[in-house]
Homo-oligomer: A and B are copies of this chain.
Amino acid sequence: MVAPSEHSIDTKNRILDAAERLFADKGFDATSLRMITTAAEVNLAAVNYHFQSKETLLQAVYARRSAPVNAKRLELLTQFESSGEPLEVEQILDALIRPLFEIGESRECVPRLMVRLLYLDAHEASRNVFQQQFHQVLIRFQGALRKSLPHLSEKEITARMQFSIGSLAHTMAASRNLQAMPAGGQMKEALPWVLRQLIHYIAAGLRAPALEESACTF
């Protein structure tokens, strides 16, 4: 029995880094293992040796980012809620979005990647796993939104959350020039212009009066 060498974890990380960038830029199907191993400067067979298949590599690429991001989201939300009062919608959205830009320093492709894997690229089996994890986070955020938007029925809150995720995902996937947070700096006011606009837009949509009469609580 021999412990894994340090070289091997270097190789694994180089593969993960290269795959992360290529998956985010070109998509899963359009990225071949040969492109990944060339960019990572490792042998072709290394992918199937360290990860078992291309699909499993995708899951590893996702797993490396999703757990920290989602943990940070819940942590931020809980911290904001500590005052006890219902939060401003903008604050809830901030807790949802900001962690995407704090993870993996100077890797601006991470937000694009997460969107691709959650909604666009991944094949059905993997995507379901990814979405299931994210769904747990959304349920938690829905609880916060419910307190801030008491005029809405549960059905309407769910729908509007999906609409919001849509505009968020579209913005992440489309605009290639979303800057990451300044490294190590404090967080306040560091989100780029387009994301502040987005949060303002989404908050207004969420706050809109209920459309269904039956949804009014009085």
Contacts and interface: CB of A to CB of B under 8 A. Distances in A.
Nearest to A210: B200
Interface of A: 29-30, 119-120, 123, 156, 159-160, 162-171, 173-174, 194, 196-198, 200-208, 211
Give 4 closest A-B pairs by Cβ, nearest first. A166-B170, A204-B208, A166-B167, A205-B205
Nearest to A203: B208
Nearest to A173: B119
A142 to B, nearest CB: 16
Given A170-B167, A200-B211, A205-B201, A194 B159 contact: yes
A160 B201 contact: yes
A42 to B, nearest CB: 25
Contacts of A197: 156, 159-160, 163, 211
Given A197-B156, A205-B201, A208-B200, A169 B171 contact: no
A87 to B, nearest CB: 18
A170 B169 contact: yes
A160 B202 CA distance: 10
Given A119-B174, A160-B201, A163-B202, 4 more contacts: A119-B170, A119-B173, A163-B197, A201-B208
Contacts of A30: 29, 123
14 contacts: A29-B30, A119-B173, A120-B120, A159-B194, A162-B170, A162-B174, A163-B170, A163-B197, A163-B201, A166-B167, A166-B168, A167-B167, A169-B170, A204-B205
